[in-house]
Amino acid sequence: MTVVTKTEKEKIFAAFESVLDRCARCQKEEDRQKIRKAFQMAFDAHKNNRRKSGEPYIYHPIAVADIVVNEMGLGITSFISALLHDVVEDTDYSLEDIRSRFGEKIASIIDGLTKISGVFDSRSSLQAENFRKMLLTLSEDVRVILIKLADRLHNMRTLDALPPNKQVKVAGETIYLYAPLAHRLGLYAIKTELEDLSLKYRHPLVYQELLNKIRDNEKKRLLEINRFSLPIIEKLTQAKIDFEISGRPKSIYSIWHKMQTKNVPFEEVYDLMAIRIVFEPRPRIPEKTQCWNIYSLITDIYKPKPDRIRDWVSTPKANGYEALHATVMGPNGKWVEVQIRSRRMDEIAELGFAAHWKYKDQKNASEGELDKWIRRIREMLENPEHNALEFLDEFKMNLFSSEIMVFTPKGHLRTLPKNATALDFAYDIHTDIGNLAIGAKVNHKLVPLNYILSSGDQVEIITSEKQKSQEQWLDYVVTAKAKAAIKNAFKEERRKRIENGKQLLESKLKELGMRPTSRILQKLFSEYKVTGKDELYAHIGGESIPLEELKKVLKKKRKSKLTRYWTLRFGRASTEKTIPPETDDLKQQEDEEFDFKAPFVLQENPDPDKISHKIARCCNPIPGDDIIGYKSPNDNVIIIHKTNCPTATKLIASQADRIVSARWETHKVLSYLARISVKGIDRIGMVNEITTVISKELDVNMRSLNFDVQDEIFEGTIDVYVHNTQDLNNLIMNLIKIKGVDTVQRVNISED
């Protein structure tokens, strides 16, 4: 790398001084000298390094420090740590150099950042384990995580410099773990930006389309905000309240997410904006009282929607968020969300845990609740046998969960995630109580262990020394602590059953002169409706699958419904090979975890002679869908997912080194199963007309159809075999033309 030029050096020092001047908590001269000393060390360490974009590397730590002090509001210690966060990892300076110049606290933070620097390195196959290690720092110094989030935010802001496949990987990691972590720590502004940037690189065309629509509607939105706000401004001014009012558009990601989850177009996402009122509290009057007073003044003007009041001033969220939310009917006949916060609440809402340093002398419930959550994460981390990927799943599950408040028989308050059950409560009290639980009393009434609790419930657990934890309990609980305890309780027993089952199967096959090949196992998976070897062995070891009929099962033959072969080309190599289907029975394919092999081209060329591939059942991609490949570590198979598949997002985040780019070839040899839903006004002959369009006019094969009629409105689902998305879209366009049909859309095929 080239050394920085004189002009570049002048610009670098000017950029640093600009950050320092804007730092509100860096006004003492001795502090500023200490920060300049740290910057000089960082500059000397990185002066020969450049980023992928070509700019001097030192711009990165300056930018991270800017986010830390001017966007998160942290102080001198964090400023210095951000400037030096890559020094020990990337240069010749040691941790001892940091300790001798800046003290133990900064050295400790740098040490934490250095240990987790490779958390989502695309070359690492241990991302999940590294992320687990990173979270260990939560209970030591949360500033390590905050600086790491700032580091990720700047990397996302400068992601243009990376090639597209790297962009997708980094964006996938961000949306899967970093954005939820920012949310849980209360960093809403950063969480929103991470989500939007992730969408920009994962689905660039969708992002740009939504951005254009928001910009096109900006003038109209401002007029609506002004029209809605003027009566409120007048009312609050008359009441002599010191306040600021602003309208904020819904983020691009949240609009896209609502379009996906609600299955609606952009035009039907009605809550595209929210009004925020931030007031300066009057002394000696509780902030909560002042929030409700403002709410009363607003509802004198606009009618509220009673079921949409969210009172987080009485009971703050676990991440410290406090506000009063109300939804009212605006003058244009649309619902508008109004958020009411004090100045202190607003700072905590935007900066989350970072704002707690400012209010650390105040004993408030939010800080205590966040500390409790951090302790729960620590409990998850302290389990030495906890599988890293399982931990990743459970941590992710607990990031976004809403909370409920329940009481013990003695009136002590416990916080649990929404939809927690009586069994979750038992494990929350103590693992032994959970393992011995046989029932519960909720509000003095006897209920089963899978009873879902509500806020305000008083819960008593009934135990028995004869009770043992059961595998089906995993379906009863939602908390990570309960799941981990249940898994630990029967993990050893299951391991023994698997080993026993494996030995029994191998012994029986040996008697028949066979060995457990992939083809034989696939046949057994299909016959016994299991998803993998461990499940098969466990059933055999537990005697729920007898082996007396094994010879008969293996001799079963299936009639061929699919007789054609197809050609595969891998990567840029010219090697071609013709591959017959592993099975010709479509029904068997649908019962297995993954469907039959299908034509695609790998853009990153593994070994074309050794790699086969399968279609993932979780998202069921068909030619025309954007796809990626995941190289399975066990059987050298590449599994094809849609790029927006939640499972694919998780794999990108946890095992990025196994992700390969993939694209479809132009092909019309195979048919793929897809499902469409149809809704409209019922009339005589409607179903016949729909099936005629599908079967006769378009010559599309149907596997099944299901229609239901209520109050003259029909809803139906149709499973059809198509060649690609173009065929499917053509089918949808023809069905929507039928008189009485209101909506036709593709839906995912759930795994039965």
Positions marked active-site: 89-90
As a whole number of angstroms, the distance between CA 646 and CA 652 comes to: 10
Q: How far is CA 106 from CA 70, 98, 198, 347, in A?
A: 19, 8, 31, 25
Contacts of residue 511, defined as CB under 8 A and 6 or more positions apart, other chains included, come to none
Token pair of 720 as six digits: 């059809």
Q: Which of 89, 87, 92, 73 lies closest to 40 in space, CA to CA?
A: 87
Residue with tokens 């804007």: 22
The owner of tokens 């008697």 is 511
Listed in order, strand segments (DSSP E) in 617-740 are 627-631, 637-642, 659-663, 672-681, 701-710, 713-722
Alpha-carbon distance 179 to 187, whole Å? Answer: 9
Instruction: Please name which of 457, 489, 455, 456 lies closest in space to residue 471, comparing C-alpha atoms.
Output: 489
143-157 vs 76-83: helix axis angle to the nearest 10?
50
- CA-to-CA separations, 410 to 368, 407, 440, 459, in angstroms, rounded: 21, 8, 15, 10
Task: Record the tokens describing residue 48, joined without a space.
Answer: 């020969």
What does residue 317 show for φ and ψ, rounded to 5 degrees?
A: -65, 165
3-state helix/strand/coil string of 528-544: HCCCCHHHHHHHHHCCC
Q: What is the distance between the alpha carbons of residues 339 and 324, in angstroms, rounded to a whole number?
A: 6
Q: Interior CA angle at 15 toward 11 and 21, to 5°?
A: 140
Angle (nearest 5°) at CA 407 between 403 and 409:
160
C-alpha to C-alpha distances, 360 to 262, 367, 368, 537, 601, nearest whole angstrom: 41, 8, 11, 55, 56
CA-to-CA distance for 561 and 189, rounded, in angstroms? 55
Q: List strands edge to edge, sheet with 659-663.
A: 594-595, 612-616, 637-642, 627-631, 659-663, 601-602
